[in-house]
């Protein structure tokens, strides 16, 4: 029963476009109407009608320690009693910056802002200013927030809702963004042959999480590093999703690579609105007030957000955390894969650390074109069958799933039992 959610949605639609403040939440990709949430704890989330779900959206990634972990809640409460915003520097910003710099070796200096979108937008401006070039290479199906330059063949909600190239973006912006197939190093090489002196940066999600979960082929990321070095362009890793998630130092640590700039969000804010971008000191020092590149924000380095980020990154320092997350996610992915396989459902499923995803397709998924071979209608039916059995997956085939330290063995077992039952029910109907 979700009557209260339905009436909340009807009310919201009167004053909020589509009734939601971020489009994927509207359930358009899976049908039906969105569930309105009222509370969450650990690995569960509860809706207005008191239905509780095992959550694999986890606010789209920030909640690696689960919902409302006591240490984070306590830190935010304590910070709030001291004042919610000062618009002046605080020591907490330096403490979080020191922690980020110590965890992500390619980052010499970091600046905090309020969202991943701000982080990527600012990193691109910085790269353009530093190189004196205008063009950016991105990959189709990757999503780097909703700044104009990145809404060309974009992933996430833009892909889900059929607007990968949003209207409202100028022809000039379109000309300066070169969108290439993910995992296609030859295409990148050709782009550099044609526009080498104009390309400021290549930006990539090292593990793509916004066209579903898609991994880089061996040699793709290192090839990007070589090409950008050879042509004097900067390499930007968008680790908004993978940062602090797939390893303490993100995907770049797992892959042994050092990008020039890294964009961060989600976990670095521990569930509060934070983005960050950082990297080589010589590049970061072009930023105002040291250099000419302007970037600013009233709520940048907000004390509540810094407190949540600090408590979260400190929580991740506990021994074996990443090993446990990897094991839990592997167990989930193996179990789901077996359940799909038992029913002869063509699928591809993968994970790195505690980030995972699956496609209902018989094709290997290496880029946007192959991701689009997935049976999205089947995903929608599976999504609803899981929801009815108390499991909340992303309401779109083209998103990743997230496991937290709060997803203990019984939660994973319950999820796999729900999947088995859901697939039986779908099989009986088909
Ligand atoms: N773009 C986010 C996931 N890739 C979704 C944001 C949201 O709806 O909260």
Expressed in angstroms and rounded, the spacing between residue 256 Cα and the centre of ligand 1 is 28
In this prediction, residue 279 carries a pLDDT of 98
Q: Does 24 contact ligand 1 (Cβ within 6 A)?
A: yes
**Each residue of 375-401: pLDDT tens digit?**
999 999 999 999 999 999 999 999 999
Dihedral, 221, 222, 224, 227 alpha carbons, nearest 10: -170
Mean pLDDT of 343-363: 98
Q: How far, in Å, CA of 58 to CA of 400, rounded? A: 11
Atom number of ligand 1 nearest to Cα 61: 3
**Each residue of 209-222: pLDDT tens digit?**
999 999 999 999 99
Q: How far, in Å, CA of 354 to CA of 267, rounded? A: 12
Q: How far, in Å, CA of 416 to CA of 333, rounded? A: 9
- A 10 A CB-CB count for 198 gives 17
Q: How far, in Å, CA of 68 to CA of 367, rounded? A: 35
**Each residue of 219-252: pLDDT tens digit?**
999 999 999 999 999 999 999 999 999 999 999 9
Expressed in angstroms and rounded, the spacing between residue 394 Cα and the centre of ligand 1 is 9
Active site residue 143: yes
Atom number of ligand 1 nearest to Cα 399: 4
Q: How far, in Å, CA of 397 to CA of 100, rounded? A: 31
What are the two backbone dihedrals, phi and then psi, of residue 26, each rounded to the nearest 5 degrees?
Answer: -75, -5
- Bridge partners, residue 279, by sequence: 109, 261
Testing ligand 1's pocket by substitution, the residue of 18, 27, 60, 61 carrying the most ligand atoms inside 8 A of its CB is 60
- A 10 A CB-CB count for 344 gives 8
Q: Does 396 contact ligand 1 (Cβ within 6 A)?
A: no
Q: How confident is the model at residue 1 (pLDDT cuts 50, 70, 90)?
A: confident
Say which of 28, 56, 135, 143 is annotated catalytic.
143
Q: How far is CA 214 from the centre of its chain?
A: 12
**Each residue of 290-334: pLDDT tens digit?**
999 999 999 999 999 999 999 999 999 999 999 999 999 999 999
Q: Does 60 contact ligand 1 (Cβ within 6 A)?
A: yes
pTM over 0.75: yes
Active site residue 266: yes
Q: How far, in Å, CA of 367 to CA of 18, rounded? A: 30
Q: What is the 3-state secondary structure (H, E, C) of 389-418?
A: CCEECCCCCCCCEECCCCCCHHHHHHHHHH
Expressed in angstroms and rounded, the spacing between residue 60 Cα and the centre of ligand 1 is 6
Q: How far, in Å, CA of 380 to CA of 393, rounded? A: 10
Exposed, middle or buried by CB within 10 Å (0-12, 13-18, 19+), for 76? buried
Say which of 55, 238, 260, 367 is annotated catalytic.
238
Q: How far, in Å, CA of 311 to CA of 99, rounded? A: 11
- Bridge partners, residue 348, by sequence: 359
Q: Does 146 contact ligand 1 (Cβ within 6 A)?
A: no
Q: How far, in Å, CA of 279 to CA of 59, rounded? A: 26
Nearest CA to ligand 1 atom 4: 156
In this prediction, residue 102 carries a pLDDT of 98
CATH topology of domain 70-315: 3.40.640
- A 10 A CB-CB count for 87 gives 10
What are the two backbone dihedrals, phi and then psi, of residue 177, each rounded to the nearest 5 degrees?
Answer: -110, 120
In this prediction, residue 278 carries a pLDDT of 98
Nearest CA to ligand 1 atom 7: 22
Expressed in angstroms and rounded, the spacing between residue 421 Cα and the centre of ligand 1 is 28
In this prediction, residue 172 carries a pLDDT of 84
Q: Does 210 contact ligand 1 (Cβ within 6 A)?
A: yes
Atom number of ligand 1 nearest to Cα 59: 9
Active site residue 182: no
Q: How far, in Å, CA of 66 to CA of 138, rounded? A: 32
Q: Does 115 contact ligand 1 (Cβ within 6 A)?
A: no
Nearest CA to ligand 1 atom 1: 156
Q: How far, in Å, CA of 237 to CA of 276, rounded? A: 12
Q: Does 399 contact ligand 1 (Cβ within 6 A)?
A: yes
In this prediction, residue 401 carries a pLDDT of 98
Looking only at the bridges linking them, the beta strands covering 275-279 and 109-113 are antiparallel
CATH topology of domain 3-68+319-429: 3.90.1150
Is the pLDDT assigned to residue 372 strictly greater than 90? yes
Is the pLDDT assigned to residue 162 strictly greater than 80? no
DSSP string, 362-384: SS---SHHHHTTS-HHHHHHHHH
In order of 55, 120, 123, 126, 234, the CA distances from 198 in angstroms are 44, 19, 17, 15, 12
In this prediction, residue 157 carries a pLDDT of 81
For residue 201, what is the enclosing H or E element?
strand 199-204
Nearest CA to ligand 1 atom 6: 22
Domain range summary for the chain, segments of one domain joined by +: 3-68+319-429, 70-315
Expressed in angstroms and rounded, the spacing between residue 196 Cα and the centre of ligand 1 is 33
Q: How far, in Å, CA of 109 to CA of 429, rounded? A: 56
Expressed in angstroms and rounded, the spacing between residue 24 Cα and the centre of ligand 1 is 6
Contacting residues for 163 by C-beta, under 8 A, at least 6 apart: none
Atom number of ligand 1 nearest to Cα 21: 8
Q: Does 22 contact ligand 1 (Cβ within 6 A)?
A: yes
Dihedral, 104, 109, 111, 115 alpha carbons, nearest 10: -20
Atom number of ligand 1 nearest to Cα 60: 3
């Amino acid at each position: 029963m979700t009557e209260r959610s339905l009436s909340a949605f009807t009310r919201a639609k009167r004053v909020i476009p589509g009734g939601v403040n971020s489009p994927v939440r509207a359930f358009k990709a899976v049908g039906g109407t969105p569930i309105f949430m009222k509370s969450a704890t650990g690995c569960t989330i509860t809706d207005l009608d008191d239905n509780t779900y095992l959550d694999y959206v986890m606010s789209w990634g920030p909640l690696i320690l689960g919902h409302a972990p006591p240490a984070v809640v306590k830190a935010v409460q304590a910070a709030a009693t001291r004042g919610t915003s000062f618009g002046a520097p605080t020591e907490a910003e330096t403490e979080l910056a020191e922690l980020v710099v110590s965890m992500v070796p390619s980052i010499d200096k970091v600046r905090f802002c309020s969202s991943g979108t701000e982080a990527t937008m600012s990193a691109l401006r910085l790269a353009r200013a530093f190189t004196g070039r205008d063009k950016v290479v991105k990959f189709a199906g990757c999503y780097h927030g909703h700044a104009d330059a990145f809404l060309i063949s974009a992933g996430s909600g833009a892909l889900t809702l059929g607007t990968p190239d949003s209207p409202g973006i100028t022809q000039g912006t379109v000309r300066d963004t070169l969108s290439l197939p993910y995992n296609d190093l030859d295409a990148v090489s050709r782009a550099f042959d044609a526009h080498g002196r104009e390309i400021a940066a290549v930006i990539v999600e090292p593990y793509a999480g916004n066209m579903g979960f898609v991994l880089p082929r061996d040699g793709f990321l290192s090839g990007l590093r070589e090409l950008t070095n050879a042509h004097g362009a900067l390499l930007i890793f968008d680790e908004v999703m993978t940062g602090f998630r797939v390893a303490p130092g993100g995907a770049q640590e797992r892959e042994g690579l050092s990008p020039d700039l890294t964009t961060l969000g989600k976990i670095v804010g521990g569930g509060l609105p934070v983005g960050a971008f950082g990297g080589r000191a010589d590049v970061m020092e072009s930023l105002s007030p040291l250099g000419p590149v302007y970037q600013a924000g009233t709520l940048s380095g907000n004390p509540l957000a810094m407190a949540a980020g600090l408590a979260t990154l400190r929580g991740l320092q506990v021994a074996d955390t990443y090993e446990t997350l990897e094991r839990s996610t592997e167990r989930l992915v193996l179990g789901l894969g077996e359940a799909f396989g038992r029913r002869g459902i063509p699928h591809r499923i993968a994970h790195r650390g505690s980030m995972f995803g699956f496609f209902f397709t018989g094709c290997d998924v290496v880029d946007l074109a192959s991701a689009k071979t997935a049976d999205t209608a089947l995903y929608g039916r599976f999504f609803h069958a899981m929801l009815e059995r108390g499991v909340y997956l992303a309401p779109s085939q083209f998103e990743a799933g997230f496991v937290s330290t709060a997803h203990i063995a019984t939660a994973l077992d319950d999820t796999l039992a729900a999947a088995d039952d859901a697939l039986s029910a779908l099989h009986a109907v088909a």
